[in-house]
Structure 1
Amino acid sequence: MPATNQPRIGGLHLAAALPGAQAVGSRQVRVTGCTCDPRKVRPGDAFIAIDGPQGDDCRGVQLAAKRGAAAVVAERLLPIGATPQFLVEDARHAFGALCHALVGHPTASMPTIAVTGSLGKSAVAALASSIISHAGAQPSLSLGADTCLGSAAAAARWLADTMVSGATHAVVEASGTQLAAGALLGASLDAVCVTNLKADRGHGGQSPDAQRRQMLASLELLAPEGIAVLNADDPDCVRALAERDGPTVTFGVSPGADVSATLVERNASEQVFILHSGADSAAVRTEVIGDAHMQNCLAAAAIGLAYGADLTSIAAGIEAVRKLPNTMRPIRSGQGFPVFLDGARSPAALRGVLETAREVASGRVLCVASLNGETSLESSTVAAALSDQTYLIADNGPPRPGAPGRWFDDRFTALALALAVAEPGDCLVLAGHRADSRIEGLTEHEVVTTLLRQRGAQELQAARAA
């Protein structure tokens, strides 16, 4: 991941960018870039010693000085000769601050919204971007698959480029892992939305509790007048709300939430619900169905309200998003039963998807699911409890002992069998879908569409023969 930031020509005074730093040597140091990788130091760069050398191992800092570092930023004094040093309490925070200073502090003049949480981040970010667009602004959107949050340096450069390109707002999805890596350090966020904190497994070496703490810590990146958008139905968010003094907008079905919704109708093709905010209301019709999607819409609506959008613009922005990455995406090829692609793998996500499937099915619920080996026992137990038939595939290791269900070695075989046995009235959920996965060079949507067409052709031939 990028660990270097090169600014516009001219650079800046390091003491001005890090006003709280203690200078050892000259304070009159001008830097033209920064990096935390000693191999990438260029003459005039500030080298940030993140994590610091251990014991007497100063080779990284010495290499940086040898390559022409104008100064070293560290958490303790290092034996590196005449190179000026700037001592700080937290080198990672200093790196983030310097990355943003070098590109002109883009978040100071371009409202930037971060969306974090255990579930629904991509959907909420995409919906919020659409709402902001329908309110007359020009947002730029970065989802988890993008690389803009690979590091603080990459994030600062992307935000600067986004502002130069004419964007009025930036909306970024931020995972707990990215936040833990310091990807948004140095940014001054205009709003942070926490979708929920239902983490039931860790990521990037972090425990679920550590993930939750990191997501809530993103609120500390808010500007003084920044707005927290919190889930009133989530216990951890409610606790954070009780401790917060700054502006806050809440969403959920709980009484008192600033934005709520009432479901009017739901079937396999669409759902209709009413958005409520105070005395105002607006109807929303979406092709993406399920309680989870309705909750995502509420989170995005709360972001819209925080920016002064009216409910009519918010509803239009939601309805303009016809499909979302890995979120109950319907596959229609003339078959007599609904088929949905969804990215659900965790127990909580699977439960939400399969409960929606049960709601719209008049027959059986069939579930094909690729599950992470480490949580396969919990996830497969949910799948078995809420489905009539399961077709399971273990990723990242074998299934845990005792994991229920029928297990397959590859996803294509499971898909083909489930599609072959599905009948009119059934609902087939293809969970654990990855948008970038390919089967024989085809996307999963293309593979399923092909299999459905083959099934339709065979049924037509059989009918003619009869």
Structure 2
Amino acid sequence: MIELTLDDIARATSGRLVPGRDGSTASTVVEGESQTDSREVRPGQIFFARRGEETDGHRFAGQAVDSGAALLVVEREVDDRVAQIVVEDATDALGALATEVVRRALAAAADAHAADPDRPELTIVGITGSNGKTTTKNLVQAMAERLGPTVASAKSFNNEVGGPLTMLRVSAETRTLVAEMGASAEGEIARLTAMAPPRIGVVLSVGLAHAGEFGGIESTFRAKSEMVRDLPGTAVAVLNRDDPRVARMAELTRARVVWFGLGSDADVRAENVVSDAAGTRFTLHAGGEAAPVNFRVLGEHHVMNALAAAAVGLELGLPLAEVVASLEAATVAARWRMEVMGGRDGVTIVNDAYNASPDSMSAALRTLAQITAPGARSIAVLGEMSELGEFSIEEHRRIGLQAVRLGITELVVVGPEARHLHISAVNEGSWDGESVFFEDQDAAFEHLRRTLEPGDTVLVKSSNAAGLRRLGDRLGETYAVDAEGAES
């Protein structure tokens, strides 16, 4: 974080400063990162005591001070060993401080650039979409780091808490801020873009992820379009040309539009896409140039994320050769996202159970069918797709039917919330495969441990709430090999 005095922070958060017994005063400078989890606090950092649905951060303020917190942002006075800033709402205060830090960082970078045109300004990249945000963010981060100091969302920090925590890591040296911006309701992305106004706004897709919370696909469209609605004419909107709803957003923005996609009308596009168990190969076209890409991230659907990232990298100033080199250096989208594990007896485990929507579930099943060797077995271990609301039953049934039509050898469905997926597959009389259902992960694990055969390829996929990533990890460990190729 850039340096701020306690008085600066109190003003930014509309709070009341209560000096601590440590001798801190209004002029005391704080520059440490901010945390909302007391277990993550390190010396010199700021702890925001948020009240959540299940717990109250004020209960852990003492632990934060014990860990070295230099400042507490609280809704009531709790620990006078260090300075406290008392605010009405700690979550709102977190956002307000992030807004001020980003504003100051942008202003300082602009002043430095005016004095020395060779010194780059701070560029903010905002990324949203129903699927692919974290993968694209990771790819953009790697490209931006080739140009200078970069701050990017940790893990999937993309909401009213994670977004500001990322923004507060910006310092005077930061050249690029890559902010993943998610939402579960209209207005949330607009709040994040107000805190950190993007110069490059990316929209990947508009699908049924979180449709139950949004209230339908049109509400999802309106929410995602908040990324580009307020972009100024000097900004860039990077839009998916192949998604009709995203394409409509070109009419809603004043920004210059850069299209990515597979069609010939995209500014950044892929041709000759070939996918297998080693990743995806394609030819990248942009700006009149073309280059082959050996993209080792598993899953043909990740090509769209790679194209979006390439468009951003080019806008940041990277030459095409460096964009390609960055894409080719990537080996995994992110933890629990098409993560290849196992290997013993030729058994491949693909753990893609960090999250799931109908679109990403469908793409993962297609990938499973593509990468399974001829004559080998494909097993899909599937759990609930959450937050679908009224669309839940229909979409689970559709995925069950798709598994059958793709010729998946066996379907292992886990958890009562996903039962309709199992029923749909069983009711498809033309299928020669089988579907089995288990109430919990332990039963599913024992079944797989007994029945997996050499050469099998196993996909584990579910929403985060279903927790099948742990089942994927267990299977990966069970079928792991060590560096010498022996069983681990």
TM-score by length of 1: 0.70
Single out whichever of 313-322 and 256-265 deviates more from structure 2.
256-265
Whole-Å Cα distance in 1 between the matches of residues 101 and 278 of structure 2?
49
Verify: 1:365 aligned to 2:374, yes or no.
Answer: no
* Aligned 8 A contact 1:111 1:190 in 2: yes
Q: 1:308 to 1:33 in 2, by over 3 A?
A: closer
Amino acid at match of 1:348: D
Q: 1:149 to 1:313 in 2, by over 3 A?
A: same
Equivalent residue in structure 1 for 2:282, among 273, 287, 295: 273
What per-residue deviation string (whole Å, max 9, x for no partner) do you get for residues 217-266 of structure 1? Answer: 12134344111100010101211124434212111011210111123543
Alignment partner, residue 126 of structure 2: 114
Single out whichever of 248-257 and 401-410 deviates more from structure 2.
401-410
What per-residue deviation string (whole Å, max 9, x for no partner) do you get for residues 263-311 of structure 1? Answer: 3543212332221113212222233222211111111101111112111
Alignment partner, residue 348 of structure 2: 338
Equivalent residue in structure 2 for 1:452, among 473, 479, 483: 479
Whole-Å Cα distance in 1 between the matches of residues 340 and 224 of structure 2?
31
**How far did 1:434 drift?**
4.3
**How far did 1:32 drift?**
1.4
Q: 1:322 to 1:397 in 2, by over 3 A?
A: closer
Whole-Å Cα distance in 2 between the matches of residues 127 and 197 of structure 1?
20
Single out whichever of 443-452 and 248-257 deviates more from structure 2.
443-452
Equivalent residue in structure 2 for 1:298, among 301, 307, 312: 307
Whole-Å Cα distance in 2 between the matches of residues 228 and 431 of structure 1?
31
**How far did 1:433 drift?**
6.6
Whole-Å Cα distance in 2 between the matches of residues 116 and 173 of structure 1?
6
Q: 1:381 to 1:313 in 2, by over 3 A?
A: same
What per-residue deviation string (whole Å, max 9, x for no partner) do you get for residues 405-462 of structure 1? Answer: 43211124324423543444543211127499599xxx545411332259xxxx99xx
Whole-Å Cα distance in 1 between the matches of residues 267 and 314 of structure 2?
9
Alignment partner, residue 347 of structure 1: 358
Q: Counterpart of 2:238 in 1: which secondary structure?
A: strand
What per-residue deviation string (whole Å, max 9, x for no partner) do you get for residues 347-397 of structure 1? Answer: 221111111221222233210011136523343343344323111123768
- Give me the identity figure in percent: 21
Alignment partner, residue 414 of structure 2: 393
Paired residue total: 382
Alignment partner, residue 182 of structure 2: 175
Q: Counterpart of 1:162 in 2: which secondary structure?
A: coil
Verify: 1:125 aligned to 2:117, yes or no.
Answer: no
Matches within 5 A, 1:42-121: 42=16, 100-101=99-100, 104-107=103-106, 109=109, 110-121=122-133
Q: 1:331 to 1:155 in 2, by over 3 A?
A: closer
Instruction: Name structure 1 gaps, 5 residues minimum.
Output: 1-5, 13-30, 36-40, 45-63, 73-91, 461-466
Verify: 1:210 aligned to 2:240, yes or no.
Answer: no
What per-residue deviation string (whole Å, max 9, x for no partner) do you get for residues 61-100 of structure 1? Answer: xxx9xxxx9999xxxxxxxxxxxxxxxxxxx999967862
What per-residue deviation string (whole Å, max 9, x for no partner) do you get for residues 330-355 of structure 1? Answer: 11333324321113532221111111
* Aligned 8 A contact 1:8 1:102 in 2: no
Alignment partner, residue 222 of structure 1: 231
* Aligned 8 A contact 2:229 2:253 in 1: no
Amino acid at match of 1:42: R
Q: 1:433 to 1:402 in 2, by over 3 A?
A: closer
Whole-Å Cα distance in 1 between the matches of residues 450 and 264 of structure 2?
45
TM-score by length of 2: 0.67
**How far did 1:113 drift?**
0.8
Whole-Å Cα distance in 1 between the matches of residues 466 and 148 of structure 2?
30
**How far did 1:316 drift?**
1.4
Q: 1:103 to 1:311 in 2, by over 3 A?
A: closer
Alignment partner, residue 250 of structure 1: 259
Whole-Å Cα distance in 2 between the matches of residues 445 and 288 of structure 1?
18
Amino acid at match of 1:106: A
Equivalent residue in structure 2 for 1:161, among 147, 158, 169: 169
Alignment partner, residue 140 of structure 1: 151
**How far did 1:167 drift?**
2.5
* Aligned 8 A contact 1:11 1:102 in 2: no
Higher-Rg member (1/2): 1
Verify: 1:432 aligned to 2:442, yes or no.
Answer: no
